[in-house]
Amino acid sequence: MKTLLKYMYMIALGLSLTSAYAQSSEEKSKANEDRVKALVESREFTFVANSAQPLNANEINRVIGQMQGMAGGAQINLAEQGYQLSLSKNNLSSHLPYYGRAFSAPIGNSDRAGFKFDSKDYNITQKVGKKGEINLNITPKDQAESIRMMLSIAKSGMANLTVSSNVRQSISYIGYIKGNGSQP
C-alpha cells in the first residue's frame, strides 16, 4: 500500500512540474511576442540575415558548383557575417549581399554590388497577416534603382525579407529581428 502511495505521489509531482513548465514556456513565448511587437511598432530594429535564397536557385547552383571547393545549394549561409537591414526613425540602412542576375551593372561603384545604401526618404506600410505575422512593405524613394522590400516578421521574431528591384532578380533573406544596438 505504501508503494502505491509513493507512485501516486510521484505521478502527482510529475504532473504538477510539467504543468508549471508549460506555463513558464507560455509566459516566455508571450513575453517574446510582446517584445517583437514593441520593436516593430517603435520602428527601431534591425533585421539580421542568416541566409539568402536567390530567385533562380538552379542558375546560381550551376555557377557555385563550378567554383573549386563549393557545393550548390538553394540557400547561401550568411550567419555571423554582419549582413543586415536597420530601421530607425529617420534612416533605413541596408547592408545585404546580392546573388542573382542583374539586368544592368553599376559602373565604377563596387559599393552597389549588393543592396548597400542609406535612405532618409522611404515609405513603410504595415499589415497583419492571417497567422498574426507582421508584414512591412518598405520602399526607399531616394535610390537610383527602384527597390521594394517586403519584411514578414513572425511572432517569434524570425523574419523573411524579400527584395525586388527594377534591375535585378528578386532575392529573399531569412533571419531575425533585434533591437538596434542589442545582442541577438
- How does pLDDT run across 74-110, given as a tens digit for each residue? 678 888 889 999 999 889 999 999 888 777 766 666 5
What pLDDT shows up at residue 135? 95
**Which DSSP helix (H) or strand (E) runs through 21?**
helix 2-42
Question: Is pLDDT above 90 for 177?
Answer: yes
> What's the rounded Cα separation, in Å, for the pair 19 and 26?
10
What pLDDT shows up at residue 2? 66
3-state secondary structure of 108: coil
Residue 173: inside a domain = yes
Residue 116: inside a domain = yes
**How many structural domains are present in the chain?**
1
3-state secondary structure of 120: coil
Average pLDDT estimate for 107-130: 83
Structural domain span for residue 139: 43-179
What pLDDT shows up at residue 134? 94
> What's the rounded Cα separation, in Å, for the pair 7 and 118?
65
Q: Which three cell numbers stand for residue 119?
A: 535612405
Per residue, the 3-state secondary structure of 49-66, as one string, reads EEEEEECCHHHHHHHHHC
Transcribe 150-182 into DSSP letters. EEEE-TTSEEEEEEEESSB--EEEEEEEEETT-
Under the banding of pLDDT at 50, 70 and 90, the label for residue 179 is confident
> What's the rounded Cα separation, in Å, for the pair 112 and 98?
10
Give the residue with greater pLDDT, 158 vs 14.
158
Q: What is the pTM of this model?
A: 0.76
Q: Which residues pair with 163 in a beta bridge?
A: 149, 171
What pLDDT shows up at residue 160? 96
CATH of the domain at 60: 2.40.128.410
Residue 107: inside a domain = yes
Residue 72: inside a domain = yes
Residue 13: inside a domain = no
Question: Is pLDDT above 70 for 13?
Answer: no
Give the residue with greater pLDDT, 49 vs 64.
49
CA dist list (Å): 26 to 19, 23, 72, 158? 10, 5, 39, 17
Dihedral sign (CA 37, 120, 140, 108): negative
For residues 35 and 168, the answer to whether their CB atoms sit within 8 Å is no
Average pLDDT estimate for 30-56: 88
Question: Is pLDDT above 60 for 180?
Answer: yes
